[in-house]
Amino acid sequence: MESTDLQVWQLILQASWLVQAVMALLLLASVASWMIIFRKRQALKAAIKEADAFEEKFWSGTDLSRLHESISSSHRKPSGMERIFDTGIREFSRMREQKRMSAAAMVEGAQRAMRITLTRETEDLEHHLNFLATVGSTSPYIGLFGTVWGIMTSFHQLANVNQATIAMVAPGISEALIATAMGLFAAIPAVIAYNRFSNQVDRLEVRYDNFKEEFSSILGREAHRVAQE
């Protein structure tokens, strides 16, 4: 096993500068991808947990004013569904204080504010996902480029040799194929993570949108009650 590892390192060190540059680029892309994967996994796990906790609190019959006060008095910045609720009720309260404001206008203003917040929350959840998609789609081709270049260089060296044997080109082809392997090593985890995280983001976005609509209905009933007073 040790001799095999040593042989791989020797092949990498003996590769041409262009192939080594391709390998270094793929290694950096792989390291960056894994950093994003770990961080995004934690962020999405926390977002799902926060959404579950807030929905349970929201539908438990807690007074919405007190819920809003607890969010406002908290030292931490609201996020996700909690932020959508905070934005909506703030805008609704602001418009309710204005005189001669129709119920439809109050609800529409709150919906508009929540829609903007929902878009921003979705963008935050999708942050860095494009990088994973780029690594997953381009790394195999970058590795293939290094392989093609390495094989081309190996065969070009045979031009000055009278008797060519497979043993003469085997090391060059082997070091070139390492670039393809590194491209796949970088691409496969990135593609798997991107598909998984994209699915989780889509499901969270649907939950946020459903909550926005349900909360808009509650605000609509409150707006009609205020308008009749």
What is the average pLDDT across 190-201? 96
Residue that wins the pLDDT comparison between 106 and 197:
197
Tell me the domain boundaries of the chain.
Answer: 17-228
- Diameter of the chain measured on Cα atoms: 101
User: Residue 149's CB: how many other CB atoms inside 10 A?
Assistant: 17
pLDDT one-digit tens code per residue, 27-68: 999 999 999 999 999 999 999 999 999 999 888 877 888 888
- Residues 101-155 pLDDT 10s: 788 888 899 999 999 999 999 999 999 999 999 999 999 999 888 888 777 777 7
For residue 157, what pLDDT is reported? 66
Nearest Cα residue to 85 out of 222, 227, 213, 228: 213
Contact predicate 47/204, CB 8 Å: yes
Which residues, other chains included, contact 88 with Cβ-Cβ below 8 Å and sequence gap of 6+? 110, 111, 113, 114, 117, 212, 215, 216, 219
Q: Please give the pLDDT value at position 19.
A: 77
Kindly report the pTM of this predicted structure: 0.83
